[in-house]
């Protein structure tokens, strides 16, 4: 840096990027508005103590004011310019400022501790901005498929998502944000890429938000900042990120394979030809009507297997055409009435998002065993008394089983 005037210009740019007046900055560091004005004009020297206070209040690394390649385009300035309403919401504005401050502090601590973080340029997917919703969906799904392949994930569920993405050079923070904000992505040379997810949201929703913001980090790397909140959820870039998150967390082939493992999603009629060197013997098999229908217990297991919320899995099944619109609405009604939650408790799946159950094979086995027993009863291949007998084997209470039968949509084949 050459002179006092340059320092003043940089302080002014940082203050304006935070949507902060000279008077507000002055009160925060115990100086008058006139003193701040003189500092920014280069007419007043600023002590090291005052400069440290200014940097802290403006969420800046002190060294950034003296770097030759000082960033004039601040991430929050870009964000507030693109979404004017954000700067008018004082609670949200302060929360975003806090995220930037923590991001810089985290980056500084890692540098002080000589913690090397790989750059996030291992993958970059460049697209023109989508012009339609369908184009946004296609782009998001294509990037997710390519990224899963690059990371060697196959079609399997993703375990520790935060650990995986931090290994790719991202910093991820779980911090309190207003409820209408699910997450944001910030970037500058000082702190690198920093994803912030809303701490007040449930664990499964946070996982989806992490994957959503990862899409922004991969595809929108040139943007210093983006925020995902209720008011912009229909924007094409947000739709693209949601499409990415769905395919990344619930890959098409993986979901279909698991559905087949549950004995669902197969054609209701199949023909096989067995050839014995003379002629082919044709075998025709027709499955029972309704046997392929995905029910609430199937939905619970699918959501648990891929560590996503039941609503997220429900729409994924609809988009993959594994359920119809009437089936979607029926399962939605069960979910809204609390049956999904009770079924999850009955199957001992991870309702509260605690990962300890996700890798506990005895509980994983118990969940699948109970689900199979319910499905066998629904198809009328076992009686209710046999169902009670089987569920008792894995420690289930008969009263709980009867309650589940009374509230879940487990219509038997004779009910159709």
The string of DSSP letters for 223-268 reads: -SEEEEEGGGTTSHHHHHHHHHHHHHHS-HHHHHHHHHHTT-SS-S
CATH of domain 73-249: 1.10.10.2910
Joined together, the tokens standing for residue 358 give 């996700």
- The answer for residues whose C-beta is within 8 angstroms of residue 88's C-beta and 6 or more apart is none
| Average pLDDT along the chain | 82
Joined together, the tokens standing for residue 247 give 């395919």
d(CA 105, CA 61): 8
pLDDT for 266 = 64
In the chain, residues under CATH classification 1.10.260.40 are 1-72
- Residues 284-321 have pLDDT tens digits of 555 555 567 899 999 999 999 999 999 999 999 999 99
Superfamily for 1-72? lambda repressor-like DNA-binding domains (1.10.260.40)
Joined together, the tokens standing for residue 26 give 């002055």
Residue 348 has pLDDT above 90, yes or no: no
pLDDT for 364 = 66
Residue 168 binned pLDDT confidence (cut-offs 50, 70, 90): confident
Task: Report the pLDDT averaged over residues 369-382.
Answer: 87
- Residues 132-152 have pLDDT tens digits of 999 999 999 999 999 999 999
Q: Can you give the length of the chain in residues?
A: 416
Report which of residues 132 and 107 the model is more confident about.
Answer: 132
In the numeric block, the tokens 């089936």 are attached to 327
Return the SS3 of 64. helix
Radius of gyration of the CA atoms of the chain, in A? 27
- Residues 237-258 have pLDDT tens digits of 999 999 999 999 999 999 999 9
pLDDT for 381 = 87
In the chain, residues under CATH classification 1.10.10.2910 are 73-249
Beta-strand relationship, 181-188 and 192-198: antiparallel
- The answer for residues whose C-beta is within 8 angstroms of residue 194's C-beta and 6 or more apart is 99, 103, 106, 107, 170, 171, 172, 173, 185, 186, 187
- The pTM of this model reads 0.76
pLDDT for 211 = 96
Q: Angle 22-29/33-41 helices, nearest 10 degrees? A: 110
Q: 103 near 184, Cβ under 8 Å?
A: no
């Amino acid at each position: 840096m050459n002179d006092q005037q340059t320092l003043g210009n940089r302080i002014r740019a940082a203050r304006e990027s935070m949507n902060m007046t000279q008077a507000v900055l002055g009160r925060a560091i115990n100086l008058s508005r006139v003193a701040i004005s003189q500092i920014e004009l280069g007419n007043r020297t600023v002590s090291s103590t005052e400069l440290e206070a200014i940097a802290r209040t403006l969420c800046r690394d002190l060294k950034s004011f003296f770097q030759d390649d000082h960033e004039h385009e601040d991430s929050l300035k870009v964000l507030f310019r693109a979404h004017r309403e954000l700067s008018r919401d004082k609670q949200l504005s302060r929360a975003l400022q806090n995220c930037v401050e923590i991001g810089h502090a985290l980056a500084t601590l890692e540098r002080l501790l000589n913690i090397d973080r790989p750059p996030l340029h291992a993958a970059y997917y460049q697209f023109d901005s989508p012009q339609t919703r369908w184009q946004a969906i296609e782009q998001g799904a294509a990037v997710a498929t390519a990224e899963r392949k690059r990371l060697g994930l196959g079609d399997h569920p993703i375990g520790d998502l935060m650990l995986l993405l931090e290994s790719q050079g991202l910093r991820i923070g779980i911090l309190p944000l207003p409820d209408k904000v699910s997450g944001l992505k910030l970037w500058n040379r000082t702190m690198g890429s920093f994803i912030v997810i809303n701490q007040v949201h449930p664990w499964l929703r946070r996982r989806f938000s992490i994957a959503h913001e990862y899409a922004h980090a991969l595809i929108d790397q040139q943007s210093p900042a983006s925020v995902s909140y209720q008011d912009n959820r229909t924007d094409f870039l947000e739709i693209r990120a949601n499409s990415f998150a769905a395919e990344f967390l619930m890959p098409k082939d993986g979901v279909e394979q698991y559905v087949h493992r549950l004995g669902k999603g197969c054609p209701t009629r199949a023909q096989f030809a067995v050839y014995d060197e003379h002629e082919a013997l044709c075998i025709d098999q027709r499955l029972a009507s309704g046997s392929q229908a995905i029910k609430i217990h199937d939905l619970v297991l699918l959501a648990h297997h891929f560590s996503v919320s039941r609503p997220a899995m429900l729409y994924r099944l609809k988009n993959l055409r594994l359920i119809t619109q009437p089936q979607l609405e029926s399962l939605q009604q069960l979910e809204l009435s609390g049956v999904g939650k009770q079924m999850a408790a009955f199957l001992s799946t991870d309702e509260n998002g605690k990962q300890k159950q996700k890798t506990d094979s005895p509980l994983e086995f118990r969940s699948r065993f109970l689900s199979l027993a319910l499905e066998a009863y629904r198809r009328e291949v076992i009686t209710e008394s046999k169902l009670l007998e089987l569920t008792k084997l894995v420690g289930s209470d008969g009263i709980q089983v009867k309650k589940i039968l009374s509230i879940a949509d487990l219509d038997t084949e004779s009910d159709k």
